[in-house]
Structure 1
């Protein structure tokens, strides 16, 4: 939970500082949960952020017939995008998709009929391992 809380904080900070701000929405954050405890501990002012916090999990918020605008970003996708499309909702999973969870975000999206795409990381960054970004990689992109 601590890792996810820090990822949300970094994402919010980068979005606020960006010239082209995106709307951040965090789904599935229940009151009195371990996630709220982690945010309260590591990001004490998170309740004042200009970010939507939705208690309903993402897949319940967008039932099967309403998922046309969704695109799950996954390093394991076969589709590479070079620009974001207006009207699309890009999902950044808050699951630390490392070796022990390799392919988890891709699998979840596929199981629920949500298209996936990956960013062209290898074309812009030299990385020795899997082409997976963390929120730390975004520091200084403003």
Structure 2
């Protein structure tokens, strides 16, 4: 099996480099009538135009590795092979719907828009192969995300069971139907123990590397919607913060209908690199305990000191 090359971390800039950048910023002349923010966006776009060929070459290599891994998995995992190669002739009704809320276009750069379009494409494939009927509606489908689909994924117009609409989430919600919506977000403390019929579950359609904290939670509260989070912490331990990409959230919900068990759903969907082993969890808890003991000892020392 081909192994993906490890990412090389960039070294932090030296003091000389920091000083050089500071002086360059001071001496930078902005075009007349243009803010620094607008100028930075133009520069970023120019840099993308200069490096996009190199980026695409890297992405082609990455996709080749993904295809190789998929080929190996199909060869060695019969259950995965059946789920990928065989679409169910009929799907079991659930009376559950999903919305991917894409009203965050302006908060993403062009690479993140591309990633978001791929996640929607992946979610559509998951929906088509699921034995349960879980339709998806893409709201606020406009701006750069729509442009991305129109130029690179034109076949989306023929997709079935998924609806693309420029309508905002707010326009779908009324006082009468408000209780039927649940916004899925890791920022709430309310664990979602089951998916209930006659409900619509909303997934935030954003790729932002956690730059915008509580974005979906705050939006849900503003709209007066209930919030829920997938109960990850009750079943598995992640290396990173309990925030999942859009397609993973949707797939986990699909798997829940198959297993009626969140633990099995998480273990089927999440890649091993995200999930800590039992040993890692124990070491992490032991480390946290030692840190806590150290801080407690330090506080006592400070109290005794004159």
Q: Could you state the TM-score of these two structures normalised by the residue count of structure 1?
A: 0.86
Alignment match of 1:75 (pick from 180, 183, 186): 186
Give the paired residue count: 139
Structure 1: how far apart are the matches of 2:204 and 2:246? Answer: 11
Whether 1:129 and 2:247 are equivalent positions in the alignment is: no
Structure 1 unaligned segments of length 5 or more: list them.
none
Which structure dedicates a bigger proportion of its chain to helix? 2
Structure 1: how far apart are the matches of 2:226 and 2:220? Answer: 7
Could you report, residue by residue, the CA deviation over 1:106-142 in whole angstroms, capped at 9, with x for unpaired residues? 111011101100001223333112111114644964x
> Is the Cα–Cα contact under 8 Å of residues 97 and 103 in structure 1 kept in the other structure?
no
Whether 1:24 and 2:125 are equivalent positions in the alignment is: no
Whether 1:106 and 2:217 are equivalent positions in the alignment is: yes
Q: Could you state the TM-score of these two structures normalised by the residue count of structure 2?
A: 0.42
> Is the Cα–Cα contact under 8 Å of residues 183 and 202 in structure 2 kept in the other structure?
yes
Name the structure 1 match of 2:157.
47
> Is the Cα–Cα contact under 8 Å of residues 97 and 104 in structure 1 kept in the other structure?
no
**CA-based RMSD:** 2.1
Structure 1: how far apart are the matches of 2:247 and 2:177? Answer: 32
| Larger RCO, structure (CA 8 Å, separation 6 or more) | 1
Helix, strand or coil at the partner of 2:179? coil
Could you report, residue by residue, the CA deviation over 1:82-117 in whole angstroms, capped at 9, with x for unpaired residues? 210001100011022542112110111011101100
Helix, strand or coil at the partner of 2:157? helix
> Is the Cα–Cα contact under 8 Å of residues 123 and 247 in structure 2 kept in the other structure?
no
Higher Cα Rg: structure 1 or 2? 2
Q: Which runs of 4+ in 1 moved over 6 A?
A: none
Structure 2 unaligned segments of length 5 or more: list them.
1-112, 253-267, 270-306
